[in-house]
Amino acid sequence: MFRTAIQRLTSPSSIAAAATAFGAATYAYTLDNPVSASAKAADDSSEMDAIKAWMKETDVKLAKLEANAVSSGVSSFMDNSKATNKIDIVLGAQWGDEGKGKLVDMLGMHYDVCARVAGGSNAGHTIVVDNVKYKFHLVPSGILHPATKCVIGNGVVVHMPQFLKELRGLKEAGVDTTGRIFISDRAHLVFDFHQAVDGAQESKLGRNKIGTTKKGIGPAYASKISRNGIRVGDLQDWEYFEERFRALVSSTMSQYPSLNVDVEEELKVYKEIASEIKAMTIDTIEYVNLQHKNGARILVEGANATMLDIDFGTYPYVTSSNPSVGSVLTGLGVSPNKLAGIYGTVKAYCTRVGEGPFPTEQLNDHGEHLGTVGAEFGTTTGRARRCGWLDIPQMQYSAKINGYTALNLTKLDVLTGLKSVFIGTKYVDADTGKPIHGMPASLRQLYKVKVIYEELPGWTEDISKCTAFEDLPPNAQAYVHRVEELIGVPIRWIGVGPGRRDIIYRDV
């Protein structure tokens, strides 16, 4: 955008204005009328050549400035998102904790609406702004941008105490959310007893536990599917809400006799907050589709990740929703032809929280390096994450399901200091040595896969200050190119540090 302005100024009719504007006031030139001593000088071809040379040099400098602006999200994020009023999506491409919130925050300033469509407070997105750390569980990360409206779609399950706690925390941090966040009247509620049931179920499983966050997400979705769940919109009719709540508690306690629920106290809490929630409750399906019709730019913030998808993940070690691209349609109420950019977020390595198969896990010095340097502790649970190398078969599977148009490769800086870096490129059967194609549905088979690795040279240079791809060490560039080649999706963003602007943008 900077260079376009300069190129317009280099036309003969604009040289005089441009020269004056950029400090070359001694030159004046018009096609029709050379004037005064300055005009006589400007009429000299050598002087004109000097002006053009100077402006060409300025063009080069501005090109570099634009490249830096692009890499920090100032220009191209905005230009790209303004190019269409369709819906763009940021998804987790692995087992979660990839850094989706940071990209949503980065892109969010150029979108009119930012939405959550699935999951609940089991999601955890951390954003660092001016050394201040914000942790989100239910509120979309786009809330940090004053002009962005935020939507919690019908596919989300909402624990109201947690949601209101987040809003209070934002207010204390100076973030005004008034009139900027809306909850679907069709979204289901998570109650404290859902969380108690979640914990009881995990304890009962013992060694075979799933590794849930115990936030009540599974039990809340179970209530939804059992058709005795309670929706946010039900709070607008207190008599109806109370009737539904008592029935739900009765049904739940019949399944869990040891469950202790103070019905009257719970009802008191919800009656006190009902008016506050009502002010934020709308028909988000109508709202989002109208916004789209009116040309609004809409960004969906995915929660969890594809490998935790109830259908496509490592079942049963999964979440209770569909955190893949399909959830945008069912959890927001929009049609497929409204979707545009689908951005998969993937770490430069791989992590997983909780139980379940993890083919590239490294229980060695490499895993310790990734966990320590990457500060791999869950935002929601605080649990240490399991760490391993980037898993290409898993990423190819994820890309196949979601149809990524570009990737966001995060935490490349964590690999700095390693003599060699490894990429898991193939699965083979540990017993037969035969190649395994696709992602095995059988956990028994997945636990037995042997991963074939490709070794690449590492790098020791600090990359945290790099603002352009060309600034990266050659070995880091080679790693990015190789990952891009293996997955078959262009890498548009590269994370080189924890800060809000520590992202390199590539025009791919």
Tell me what pLDDT residue 354 has: 83
Closest-CA residue to 397 (of 322, 462, 355, 344): 344
Which listed residue (97, 198, 234, 391) is catalytic? 97
Q: CA 422 to CA 404: how far, in whole Å?
A: 23
Contact 335, 328 (CB under 8 A): no
- In which residue ranges of the chain is pLDDT below 50? 1-44, 51, 54-56, 58-83
Which listed residue (88, 105, 110, 125) is catalytic? 125
Taking only the tens place, the pLDDT of each residue in 462-500 is: 999 999 999 999 999 999 999 999 999 999 999 999 887
Contact 112, 126 (CB under 8 A): no
Tell me what pLDDT residue 311 has: 97
Tell me what pLDDT residue 51 has: 47
Q: CA 470 to CA 364: how far, in whole Å?
A: 32
Tell me what pLDDT residue 101 has: 83
Contact 170, 177 (CB under 8 A): yes
Using only C-alpha atoms, what is the Rg of the chain?
27
Q: What is the DSSP string of 103-131?
A: HHHHHHTT-SEEEE-SB-TT--EEEEETT
Residue 410 in tokens: 């995060």
Could you count the other beta carbons within 10 Å of the beta carbon of residue 462? 13
Residue 7 in tokens: 């190129």
Is 125 annotated in the active site? Answer: yes
Tell me what pLDDT residue 247 has: 97
Tell me what pLDDT residue 2 has: 38
Q: CA 127 to CA 495: how far, in whole Å?
A: 13
Closest-CA residue to 219 (of 193, 245, 251): 193
pTM of the model: 0.80
Residue showing tokens 């702004």: 129
Tell me what pLDDT residue 84 has: 64
Closest-CA residue to 245 (of 263, 227, 258): 263
